[in-house]
Chain A
Amino acid sequence: MKVKNILADLKVYGKSFARSREGLFFTFVFPIVLIAIFGAIFSGNGGSTVPLYVQNMNGGAPAAQQLLAGLNSTHLVTIHMIPGSVNVTAYVSEHSITAALVIPSNFSSVIGGGGSVYLPFYNNPTVTSSQIAGQAIGAVVQQFNLNISQAHNVIFVRPYANSVVAKGYVDFLIPGLIGFTILTTPMFSVTFIVSSYKKDKIFRQLSLTPLTRGEWLLSKFLWYIIISGLSAALMIGFGVFAFNARVSLDLFLVPFILIGVFMFVSLGTFAGAIAKTEEGAAVIGNIITFPMMFLSGTFFPISIMPNWLQSIAHFLPLYYVIDGLNAVMVYTNYAAAYADMVISFIISAAFFVLAMLTFSWKES
């Protein structure tokens, strides 16, 4: 492994990349365009809902169901259920939830008996989405109180402030799009390069020099780290400047960019190596890339997807990178970030092994 070889290859590859307009477009222009479009669509928050997590300990009791229906009909919140068996406080911080409401097990019976009941509401009053959820709950509860007693309140919301921070849509969009760039830039170009170098026998030409496959791959890692770093900086800058995105910039970002690039340069190499033709490589690349492009939390947070889609997302490697980026940039939840980091590193290492096994410069 010679640094001199890696740098020589990096220089040549970088030049040829920079001289291709497609490469530059997908790296620098495309992510900005995406932020501009999605940011403009959602930044006004009009029409969109905020997530509200509910732990319903009162099961199918009519009063509890009525309360949920009431919350739904506000069109301010999207309800996600928290399993009855878990500890809400732990669950809320573990999942970086900003608004969670508990319906106690005695809810129906107390109301039926004319007593008063408290609904614990875990929220962060400094956060807009949390405030919106609080307003929705307040409105529904008021309605209930009016209906039940006409005179005095029987249901009270008891707020528990927490430090979980959730942000506007643009805040999610930035880590999502950084993940998107980490995915697409190497996947599209490395897959193509590997298959076309193979077809044009450029690898054979390189194999005539002391350059090794490992050095060549390492130079690709370095190149896409540079490219992804630049486009991440550009997106953050643009998001902050144009849409007032609030993301925390943290050294923790760096390992995710490194691991993410490592992951997808390896996967792209693998896809290009197993493809028989350039067209085949494009198909394989797309099959791998497209589900991840939409379902890993790139354009919208995973939490707004239906449960079955969320479970699919957990099988997509990019999910862990984006989840980690979110944990760092949006929630500053390092425990979650650390777990994501370990998982994505293991996945990348596996992809790297696959790439090295299939990526050959020689012909049998």
Chain B
Amino acid sequence: MADSVIEASGLMKAYGPIQAVNGLDLQVRKGEVFSLLGPNGAGKTTTIEMLEGLRKPDSGEIRILGMNPWKDESRIRRRVGIIPQGFNFVQRITPQEAIRYFATLFGVPERSEELLKLVDLYDMRKTYFTNLSGGQKQKLGLCLALVNDPELLFLDEPTTGLDPQARRNMWDVIRKLKAEGKSILLTTHYLEEAEVLADRVGIVSGGKMIASGTPQEIIDQHGSGRSLFVTGSGEVAEKVRKMTGSRCSFDGRHISVEIRENTDVPMILDLVRESGVEISTLQLREETLEDVFLKMVGSVEE
């Protein structure tokens, strides 16, 4: 495991009666982008904060770049960069001043121009933080995380609140950082973002890592392959369930059936036709990470 930049096992953290993180294991390899997915309140931020050394775990083991984040804090600080969820800064300070301030504190060369241009914030370099838009604030957060040229980045929801264009811009930046050899742990609520950016993803729910691996691995392990999406009725859904033994859901207009055997497809279509429903939609598709995610997270919540 010499090439792991983050290794955590058995992480536990409770806030009073709430068990926010409940025996979570996580490993991030050098040079990879790992994305944590999970519903609100799953424990992602709490986990990241414990990894960053900002919160003390109740129990569990953490190694960050081979060090203990709680004890070797100051050495780790110089080698990691962090955007906290809901990044905030001193209200009446400009992005340029903020970056220069951090550069002085880290004792590194000042490269505010380069960083501001990287995230496309250079035009706003003289605007007070309080007057920046939410997305612009988030971009400054990334600049500050990059001031010390870190080898490991923690990005907690870096694209939340960004417009589609700015999000893609942020993706480009993240890809560029990865190409420079940086390791990145990222949380997001956008599954397509995880699919596009991450080498591996981990699905967190109820404070536990319930699945991890490449998006394809997760789809293969936890998904059911393909599903048929076709116009139908409640009655049809019931019959399909009986006949195939597969999951089948009805949303008021369409039925969605997991397909295990190819021969099920014509049978289902026959059932639909017999019921007299006119087929206006017909789709056979591979399950996406999103389908698997919703299924897994939903089934845990039940």
Contacts and interface: CB of A to CB of B under 8 A. Distances in A.
B299 interface: no
Given A9-B101, A201-B84, A210-B74, A20 B92 contact: yes
A140 B98 CA distance: 71
A363 B92 contact: no
Interface stretch (A10-18, A53-61, A153-161): A10-18
Q: Which of B84, B98, B102, B104 has the most CB of A within 10 A?
A: B104
B197 interface: no
Contacts of A364: 55-56
A9 B93 CA distance: 12
B92 A19 contact: yes
Interface residues of A, number: 24
B283 interface: no
Nearest to B141: A205
A266 B107 CA distance: 28
A251 B49 CA distance: 49
A200 B85 CA distance: 11
A314 B90 CA distance: 38
Interface string A335-364: 000000000000000000000000000111
Contacts of B107: 4, 210
Contact of B102 (A16, A202, A209): A209
Q: Which of B87, B105, B144 has the most CB of A within 10 A?
A: B105
A209 B89 contact: no
B150 to A, nearest CB: 10
B55 A363 contact: yes
Interface of A: 4-5, 8-9, 11-13, 15-16, 19-20, 200-202, 204-205, 207-211, 362-364
B163 interface: no
B88 interface: yes
Interface residues of B, number: 28
Contacts of B86: 201
Contacts of B291: none
Contacts of B88: 200-202, 205
7 contacts: A9-B105, A15-B92, A15-B97, A20-B92, A205-B89, A210-B78, A364-B56
Contacts of B55: 362-364
A19 B128 contact: yes
Contact of A208 (B77, B91, B93, B98): B77
Interface in B78-128: 78, 82, 84, 86-93, 97-98, 101-102, 104-107, 128
Contacts of A211: 105
Contact of B101 (A11, A19, A204): A11
Q: Which of A19, A20, A209 has the most CB of B within 10 A?
A: A209
A15 B100 CA distance: 13
A205 B101 contact: no
Given A210-B105, A362-B55, A364-B55, A202 B90 contact: yes
Contacts of B52: 208
Contacts of A15: 92-93, 97
Contacts of B144: 205
Interface in B46-82: 49, 52, 54-56, 74, 77-78, 82
Q: Which of A12, A19, A202 has the most CB of B within 10 A?
A: A12
Contacts of A8: 101, 104-105
Contacts of A362: 54-56
A145 B218 CA distance: 111
Nearest to A200: B88
Contacts of B104: 4-5, 8
A209 to B, nearest CB: 4
A210 B106 contact: yes
A13 B98 CA distance: 11
B123 to A, nearest CB: 20
A364 B54 CA distance: 8
B138 to A, nearest CB: 13
Q: Which of B88, B90, B91, B93 has the most CB of A within 10 A?
A: B90
